[in-house]
Structure 1
Amino acid sequence: MNPRRAPRRTPRVQSADDLLSTLGRLTARARAGAEHQQPRVELAEALQREMLPAALPALPGLRTAARYSPARHGLDIGGDWYDGFGLPTGALAFSIGDVQGHDVEAAAFMGQVRIGLRAVAAVVDDPGEVLARTNDVLLSMGRELFATCTLLRFDPETWELYSARAGHVPALWATVDGRYGMAEDEGGLPLGMLPGAGYAVTRRKLDRAGSIVLVTDGVVEGPSFSIDEGLERVLRVVRAGAGADPGDIAAEVMKVADSTGHADDAAVLVISHNAGGPAPR
């Protein structure tokens, strides 16, 4: 027995009036959605601006720049951050990191991490010890969140950078004489995961006319390519921009973030030695 065939349906032909009417309804719906969405977006952006530093520290010959791009889903506010602040010794500290999650809780935890790092760094010189103590403080709060982080201490007398890494993506660097690379220093676990975690410290000089670039994984990882490919793309940007204004370098790096297809928030921090500034001792 042959199965019964379903009756054929005559395709519906839409007139120009039908199309215009449909387009009008969709436009009105989109406009209403945008009007409803705009206050939420503005609130999220205002919150993020308040939680990131208004300015980064600088010294004669030392130039810095940073950029942040909010997440493209959820509350449009996340746990990525960058920071820079002076220390009682006259040194400068810089940090960048990424908290698990993309909501108000993640943003609040990010604030706690930043405050913890600042408080401990004011009394402890060693960046690895700063991360270790901050890790223990965060664990004592009982929050079920963690954060990756890179912390740098810059000595203005010697132009040396002391860095420690807590599960964060490597920094990238380049100089005008053609040298470049990834600072895949030995690190430790993300903050807030394990009591008593330790963090190794690496020392390097910020070369004359050189730059070091720190990013979060939202810059280098996404559906379009792997984190390794993303790091290579950023490294090419850093190499091409060696000696350029750090703001221009940061802007070009954020273009890589835009190409990943990632919905995560993203941050970049650039620290550069001005070729016309004082030479390291």
Structure 2
Amino acid sequence: MSRRGPVQDGDELLARLGSLTAQAREQAELRRSQVELAIALQRGMLPAEMPTAPGYDLAVRYVPAHHGLNVGGDWYDAFYLPDGRIGLSIGDVQGHNIEAAAFMGQVRVCLRALASVTNDPGELLAQTNDLLLSLGSDLFATCTFMRLDPSTGVLESARAGHIPCVWATADGKSGVGGDEGGPPLGVDAGMTYPVTRYRLTTGGVFVLLTDGVVEGPSMEVDQGLDQVVRLAGIAAVAGMDASSLATAVIRGADQVGHEDDAAVLVVGHEGAEAQL
């Protein structure tokens, strides 16, 4: 009996398996290149330096997610405003791909550009929202924008669908920010964003973060926020600097079991207490 047929069938099967393996390798290389590009976009769009002000300490920590070849669109930013105050923003873009990383850059640029023409955080988010909608993207972003006045310690905050900030004072008080907030940016036109006024006193800290720090498969967001509240409270009482607190918070993010970006921005007041 001839064995030519089965041998040919086996050769054809091996050839097809080889072709599929080569295609899989090509797809993996392409995906890896996309991830590397997205990470480069992220790092290139984030600020290289933090603004400084006498008596204040700013620190950031950022861990991009690339588990499973995914990359998110979290960002942080801090910059001087025309009136001498400091603008602070942190946010999270929907999605985990190059488009999310690119959209993150657009949001950050919009916030910076519009901050030069409006000094109200709520109005800034409203204008950014409408500008993003005009770009025609299907993506949206959550965001918190704060304006710090170093001469008084006053922080004015507006929130667009983002998780709240955490605060702590040197006398042992700590908690989660209670600002009302509005919807995410890029969803509906004509939205309004209420402004909440806080005061950063001597030895106090404010912690801005993204949900990758406090929410994941191993921890619900309320538990994660409680964890950051405890860390902030300990740091304020112990006189820990902003950099050490930011490191502690980002390390705590490992407990949530997340595969998302994780960003932390800490503002501490170390100087003589400002008077309103």
Match of 2:156 in 1: 162
CA deviations over 1:13-69 (Å, ceiling 9, x no partner):
xxxxxxxxxxxxxxxxxxx9xxx7987776554332211100111101010000111
The alignment's TM-score, normalised by the length of structure 1, stands at 0.83
Deviation readout 1:95-114 (Å, 9 max, x if unpaired): 00000011110011000000
Equivalent residue number for residue 253 of structure 2: 257
The list of structure 1 runs, each at least 4 consecutive aligned residues, that deviate by more than 6 angstroms after superposition, is 36-41
Q: Match for residue 139 of structure 2?
A: 145
| Higher mean C-alpha displacement, 73-82 vs 177-186 | 73-82
TM-score by length of 2: 0.85
CA distance in 2: counterparts of 1:75 and 1:105, whole angstroms: 14
CA gap 1:143/1:40 in 2 versus in 1, 3 angstroms: closer
- Given the alignment, which residue of 218, 230, 240 partners 1:244? 240
Q: Is the Cα–Cα contact under 8 Å of residues 42 and 73 in structure 2 kept in the other structure? A: no
The 1:143–1:45 alpha-carbon spacing in structure 2 relative to 1, beyond 3 Å, is closer
3-state SS of 1:241 partner: helix
Matched to 1:142, the amino acid is G
Q: Which residue of 2 aligns with 1:273?
A: 269
- Tell me, in whole angstroms, the C-alpha distance in 2 between the residues paired with 1:145 and 1:44: 16
Mapped pair 1:193 → 2:224: no
- Give 1:72 shift: 3.3
What is the correspondence of 1:109-120 to structure 2 with a 5 Å cutoff?
Answer: 109-120=103-114
Contact 1:80 1:267 in 2 (8 A): yes
Q: Which ranges of structure 1 fall in alignment gaps of 5 or more residues?
A: 1-31
Q: Secondary structure at the match of 1:144?
A: coil
- Equivalenced residue count is 246
Q: How does 1:57-206 map to 2 (within 5 A)?
A: 57-206=51-200
Aligned equivalents of 2:96, 2:58: Cα separation in 1: 26
5+ unaligned residues in a row in structure 2: which ranges?
1-24
Q: Of 216, 222, 238, which aligns to 2:216?
A: 222
Taking the aligned partners of 2:108 and 2:35, their CA distance within structure 1 comes to: 24
Task: Give the conservation status (yes or no) of the 8 Å contact 2:164–2:176.
Answer: yes
Structure 1 residue 184, shift from structure 2 partner: 2.3
**Higher normalized helix content (fraction of residues):** 2
Amino acid at match of 2:249: V
Supply the AA of the counterpart residue of 2:258: H
Deviations 1:150-205 (A, max 9, x none): 00001122111110000110100111210111102110000001100000001111
